[in-house]
Amino acid sequence: MSAKQRIVQVLGAATAGALALGLTACGGGDGGDDDGLTTVGFVAVGPEGAWREANETNIQETFTEDAGYELKYAPATNLDQKSQIDAFTSFVDEGVDVILLSATEATGWEDSLKRAQEAEIPVILLDRGIEPDDTDLYVTRIAPDNIAVSTAVADWAVSAFPDGANYFVLEGPAGVSVVNERNEGFDAVAGGQANLVKVGAQTANWSTEEAKSVVETVLKSNDNDVQFIFAQNDEMGLGAVQAVQEAGLTPGTDVKIATIDGTKNALESLAAGELSFVAEYNPLFGETALEVVEQVLNGDDVESSIVVPSATFDSPEAAEAALPDRKF
């Protein structure tokens, strides 16, 4: 990350607290620095896999000095919500012009959002939603449509298993909005299919290693009688591939695996015939976020939800065609 980009990383609650003590609170719109840059506080998730890295790098590479911005990047400490709330509070006290928020947990944000509202600092949600979803407390949410994406996975599963299947779901961390939405979309379709039998669901925390361990146990406890695994992100899907192979089964034939995200690693696995279906959850919406920030600062009306277009890949050929241009 270059000095020219003026991206400031706020590390952890201790740094955030020190930042808050050392700054004089002021209202939104006064956070621009002496050289006229608009200050944006980015309350981020931090290290969490290939999708998150692509998304947060894209935001950082978009909000640059050349574009007229100083981005203050505050990743969570070990995905801890308290560290995010501390960073959010520091940004409000500092009086940044705008706050971008990717929440590690859906609940617990009302007081922070109300404080930003009182300071007249607009808040824009990136990727993750909040619960309860009070649109009076933030400007908009920019994200792909989790329900539509997971519905696409379920529609594919129905067509892929006309004679039925036993299936298992690898979920992300409990309490995260995208997990709830991905369950909602998938269950709305698959739950109504009598010949699709759910043998269980368990979080693997977006992790390849955890997913491998979970699937190993699931296959053993079901005597390998599982034909389909729905992994809510690519990393967990790749872990499922490893577990299926180590069980002496063939992924893509004995057990079909569908994932969400559309990272390069997943498309390579689809091209190799290991994964069977990949639904993209497009992380590259920095330019959209920039346009929205400019609209908000200009006083323009903004829709309360902005959907980022995403694609699906249902064959090795489709994956091979997409790989040369894959940026994440």
Long-range contacts of 317-321 (CB under 8 A, 24+ apart): 318/270, 319/267, 319/268, 319/270, 319/271, 319/278, 320/271
Please write the tens of the pLDDT for every residue from 102-146. 999 999 999 999 999 999 999 999 999 998 888 899 999 999 999
Residue extents of the structural domains in the chain: 3-143+283-297, 146-281+313-325
Structure confidence at residue 135 (pLDDT): 87
Task: For residue 234, give Cα distances in angstroms to 50, 146, 261, 298.
Answer: 9, 14, 6, 38
Gap between the Cα atoms of 16 and 37, Å rounded: 21
Q: Residue 52: name the closest of 181, 258, 207 by CA.
A: 207
Gap between the Cα atoms of 142 and 244, Å rounded: 36
Structure confidence at residue 99 (pLDDT): 98
DSSP 7: P
Structure confidence at residue 14 (pLDDT): 35
Please write the tens of the pLDDT for every residue from 145-202. 999 999 999 999 999 999 999 999 999 999 888 999 999 999 999 999 999 999 999 9
Q: Is 214 helix (H, G, I), strand (E, B) or coil?
A: helix
Gap between the Cα atoms of 319 and 154, Å rounded: 19
Beta bridge partners of 98: 40
DSSP 73: E
The residue ranges of DSSP E strands in 211-250, in sequence order, are 228-231
Q: What is the pTM of this model?
A: 0.84
Q: Do the bridges between strand 277-280 and strand 312-313 make them parallel or antiparallel, or are there none, so unpaired?
A: antiparallel
Average pLDDT of the chain is 90
Phi-psi region of 108 (alpha: psi -120 to 50; beta: other; left: phi over 0): left
Please write the tens of the pLDDT for every residue from 233-262. 999 999 999 999 999 999 999 999 999 999
CATH architecture of 3-143+283-297: 3-Layer(aba) Sandwich (3.40)
Report residue 68 as tokens: 């007229």
Gap between the Cα atoms of 276 and 289, Å rounded: 32
Structure confidence at residue 32 (pLDDT): 53
* C-beta separation of 320 from 271 below 8 A: yes
| Topology match between the domains 3-143+283-297 and 146-281+313-325 | yes
Gap between the Cα atoms of 247 and 58, Å rounded: 38
Average pLDDT estimate for 26-40: 66
Residue 11, CA atoms < 13 Å, CB-side half-sphere? 0
Gap between the Cα atoms of 40 and 180, Å rounded: 29
From the number of C-beta atoms within 10 Å of its C-beta (0-12, 13-18, 19+), residue 320 rates as middle
Superfamily of chain region 146-281+313-325: Response regulator (3.40.50.2300)
